[in-house]
Amino acid sequence: MTNGLLQMNQNKLAAWFKNPRNLVIAGLVVIAIIALGFFIFSKKGSAPEEKPTVKINQSYEIVARTKERKGTDGKLKLVVTNAQIADSILVQGKVARPIKGKVFLVVNMEIENPYKVALYAFPVDLFRFVRTDGQKFAPSVHQGSVEIRPQATKKSNVAFVVAPTDKKFTVEVGEIGKEKQTLEITFR
C-alpha cells in the first residue's frame, strides 16, 4: 500500500515538473533560498564596524555611595579605560542615537568595589564635558545609578553629544563640589 502511495506521489511530482511554468517557479524558489542563506550568513560573518577609539587607562578614586546617593567613608577605584566616537550607544538595553549631524563621545569605565557589600556610583555626576569656550555639560546619555556588587568590578559609560569633525575633547572628572581632574582626549 505504501509503495502504491509513493508511486502515485512520484507520478504527480513528475507531471508537475513537466509544465515549464512550474519549472520557472521552482527555479525562482531555489534561487531565493540560496540568496537568503547567503545574506544571512554574510551578515553573521562580517565584522562589526570599528569605532574610533583612544585608550586612556586613567585611575580615579571616588566616594562609595548608598543607593540613596549618600556618601560613605569607603572609596571606589574608577578607571577610565577608553573613549570612542559612536553614532549610537546602548543605554539600559535600548539604543540611543544623537541628533542628526552629531555623534557621541563615549567614555568607558570600570568601577571596582573591594568591599563586602554592594555600593553605588553615579557617573552622571562625576563627568563634565568642557566646551572650547569653557561651558561645562553633564553627560547627555548615561546608565543611571551603577550598582557595583561586593568585591567585583562593573563596566559602565557616559556619552556626550559632539560634532563629528571634532577630534580633541576635554572632560573633567571628580566629585561635585570638589576639585576635578582634567582628562584630555585626542583622536587622530
pLDDT digits (tens, 9 = 90+) for 20-67: 777 677 777 778 788 777 767 665 544 455 788 999 999 999 999 999
Q: What is the pLDDT of residues 140-172, one digit of tens each?
A: 999 889 999 999 999 999 999 999 999 999 999
In Å, what is the CA distance from 107 to each residue of 12, 34, 87, 160?
Answer: 66, 42, 14, 8
Pick the CATH number of 53-186 from 2.60.40.1240, 1.10.150.120, 2.30.42.10, 3.40.47.10: 2.60.40.1240
pTM above 0.75, yes or no: no
CA dist 135 and 79 (Å) reads: 25
Per-domain residue ranges for the chain? 2-45, 53-186
Res 31: pLDDT: 81
